[in-house]
């Protein structure tokens, strides 16, 4: 005897019960409609460069006094942070176009699957950084060119150092 025959779990006549209090309740609600009845997802909405700077400063924390690194924060189509942060340490001081292309390709793939229409906030982190120095002047154009080629939108670029930080204009 099979399990369903023993317990009657899959009887065909269960839905015809006249005492069924749930009979008139649809089992599928709002099929194909917008998800505007769902709460907003967790994450900070970025409205200005200062918001991006604040998010990155919180994320980077004490690492701002460390060796050169690139930090990437991903945003959805509404400019809300998603729970994906990619810190890349041990990067060369001078930008490498091939590395920039590979990094942007990874970011593009994540955006396509987790945040279509989203964008990226870039953090250029090094102990002596926080402004436009040789490290920043090298990486900004390499990342911008790779992003343009891949169709990835850079939302902001932030320079972070041990004792200063700012949003870079490019």
Asked if residue 12 is part of any domain, the answer here is: no
Give the count of domains, the chain: 1
Asked if residue 2 is part of any domain, the answer here is: no
Asked if residue 95 is part of any domain, the answer here is: yes
For the chain, the average pLDDT equals: 86
Q: Which of 38, 124, 51, 37 is nearest to 81 (CA)?
A: 51
Asked if residue 141 is part of any domain, the answer here is: yes
Q: Which of 150, 158, 66 is nearest to 103 (CA)?
A: 150
Please report the pLDDT score of residue 169 as a whole number. 86
Q: Give the pLDDT band of residue 18 (cuts 50, 70, 90).
A: low
Q: How far apart are CA 157 and CA 70, in angstroms?
A: 10
Rounded alpha-carbon distances, angstroms, from residue 128 to 67, 68, 109, 113? 9, 9, 32, 36
Q: Give the pLDDT band of residue 77 (cuts 50, 70, 90).
A: very high
Q: Give the pLDDT band of residue 80 (cuts 50, 70, 90).
A: very high
Q: Are 125 and 60 in contact (CB under 8 A)?
A: yes
Asked if residue 100 is part of any domain, the answer here is: yes
pTM for the full model? 0.76
What's 151's domain CATH number?
A: 3.40.140.10
Asked if residue 16 is part of any domain, the answer here is: no
Asked if residue 22 is part of any domain, the answer here is: no
Q: Percentage of the chain surpassing pLDDT 70?
A: 75
Residue with the bigger pLDDT between 76 and 35: it is: 76
Report whether pLDDT(81) > 80.
yes
| Mean local confidence (pLDDT), 1-18 | 52
Structural domain boundaries enclosing 110:
49-168
| Mean local confidence (pLDDT), 89-101 | 95
Asked if residue 124 is part of any domain, the answer here is: yes
């Amino acid at each position: 005897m099979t399990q369903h025959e023993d317990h009657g779990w899959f009887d065909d006549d269960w839905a015809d019960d006249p005492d069924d209090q749930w009979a008139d309740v649809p089992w599928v609600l709002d099929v194909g409609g917008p998800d505007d009845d769902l709460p907003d997802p967790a994450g900070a909405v970025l409205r200005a460069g200062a918001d991006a700077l604040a998010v990155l400063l919180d994320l980077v924390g004490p690492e701002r006094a460390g060796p050169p690194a690139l930090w990437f924060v991903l945003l959805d189509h509404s400019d809300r942070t998603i729970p994906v942060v990619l810190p890349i340490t041990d990067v060369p001081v001078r930008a490498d176009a091939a590395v920039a292309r590979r990094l942007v390709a990874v970011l593009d793939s994540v955006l396509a699957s987790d945040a279509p229409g989203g964008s990226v906030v870039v953090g250029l982190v090094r102990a002596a950084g926080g402004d436009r120095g040789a490290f920043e002047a090298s990486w900004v154009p390499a990342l911008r060119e790779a992003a343009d080629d891949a169709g990835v939108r850079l939302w902001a670029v932030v320079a972070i150092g041990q004792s200063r930080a700012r949003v870079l204009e490019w």
